[in-house]
Amino acid sequence: MQPASAAALTLLSAQAVRERAHRLLELGLRGMLEHFRVDLARLETAADLTIEVMRTAYPTLDVPFHSRWRHFVVDGTDRWQRVAAEHARDPGWRDPAERARAAFDLAIVSVLLDAGAGPDWSYLDYGTETRIGRSEGLALASLVMFAGGALSADPDGDTLRVDASELQSMTVEKLSRMLQVDAANPLPGVEGRVALLRRLGAAVAAAPEVFALRDSPRPGGLVDHLIASARHSAIAAPDVLKAVLQHLGPIWPSRLELDGVPLGDCWRHPALVTDDATSRLVPLHKLSQWLTYSLLEPLQEAGLAVTEVDGLTGLAEYRNGGLFIDTGVLVLRDPAEARRPHQVDAALVVEWRALTVALLDRLAALVRQRLKMDAEALPLAKVLQGGTWAAGRRIARERRPDGAPPLTIVSDGTVF
């Protein structure tokens, strides 16, 4: 039996997420899970809805990767590209690596803020005088913060950057002001988000060998580390995730650890039994994978070829998971559970999220079969974008007036 620390490190990978999720799905298909029944016959319905919303949004089926960059498009205008164009004449902006550092800075902060906005919060876009909620609202708010130099140590000179020192000095009051949060516009988990940003700043400052190879400590310094580790100007997506989990792992709240190794978005489930120290542990790494998907395009723009994109998994979040509940693929054994709030570490939530990851693989295969496309033409990252996330949102709005997910999760702003 391998040492506990070595076993713990195996959980910090997309492969572990996929393997354990599929093990729970197999148990579900045999009727051996406590909280959900799995009806694979209803997967056809989920596939039909996914294809319908995909064809509506992308009639030619030319679907981009699922990433944070899609949320910076407001009313057909790519706000990030507009910001970048405004800085095109800056001497430093002509360097692809510097542009990638800035993109990493924005993506990392924006993803960490993207952990469920709830139905009552929205962001007033002064450009259009419209209110935008949910993930898109948080994305726009983070972009405005970034473009305005709110996270730069030199906001009057070098605007498009995030400095570790500014992250470490973040306060609830400052973030609330930038996200337009008040009694009439409440956002759940603001304190958790602030704590996450402060820990990000501390982790970046503590690892200059990773985050300050070509600049002072900033999250975007991870670009230089990844470029240095690439082989023949290529890097595999699962290796990007490993770097994210390894170097940003310390930022997550104190949850499970194994032999001193923090496990991040990893939880206990009694049915997942193994013969080593990782028994009953289910890794999901939702935000880390969402972040990894969002880092792939800046890496490509910096000149790296990104391979093995399908080595990442689907995201264990409430839109994808809600799609499977609302289409009847997943059925609660106790329907009353839909009316109760659940903590993120509850076995029911862990079960739901893991089943979501495994079912997304099956759904992606079915969607490709229906569209007569292969995994190269329609990788999972495009099925998610096209796709399952939008389908989950649409059916939630059809089923519930506020568009809420089918289960109520008590979030601290650092998981969903």
pTM over 0.85: yes
DSSP secondary structure letters along 314-343: ---SHHHHHHHHHTTSEEESSGGGGGSEEE
Q: Which amino acid is it at 127?
A: G
Mean pLDDT of 272-298: 95
Report pLDDT for 254: 67
Helix (H) or strand (E) holding 261: strand 261-262
How many whole angstroms separate alpha carbon 6 and alpha carbon 133? 42
Mean pLDDT on 286-303: 94
Mean pLDDT value across residues 156-183: 95
Instruction: Give the pLDDT confidence of 47-95 residue by residue, as tens digits.
Output: 999 999 999 999 999 999 999 999 999 888 999 999 999 888 887 777 8
- In this predicted structure, the answer to whether residue 333 has a pLDDT above a threshold of 80 is yes
Residues 6+ apart with CB under 8 A from 286: 265, 315, 316, 317, 353, 415, 416
Eight-class DSSP state of 344? T
Task: Tell me the pairing of strands 305-307 and 234-236.
Answer: parallel
The SS3 assignment for 195 reads helix
Q: Mean pLDDT score of the chain, rounded to an integer? A: 94
Residue 226 burial (C-beta neighbours within 10 Å; 0-12, 13-18, 19+): buried
Give the integer Cα–Cα distance in Å for 256 and 236: 27
pLDDT of 348 above 60:
yes
- pLDDT at res. 413: 62
Cα dihedral: 170, 176, 179, 181 (round 10): 170
Task: Express each pLDDT in 15-38 by its tens digit.
Answer: 999 999 999 999 999 999 999 999
Closest CA to 395 of 316, 323, 295: 323
Q: Which of 119, 48, 14, 38 shows the shortest CA–CA distance to 388?
A: 48
Q: Where does residue 132 fall: left (phi above 0), alpha (psi -120 to 50 degrees), or beta otherwise?
A: beta
Q: Which of 126, 102, 100 is nearest to 306 (CA)?
A: 100
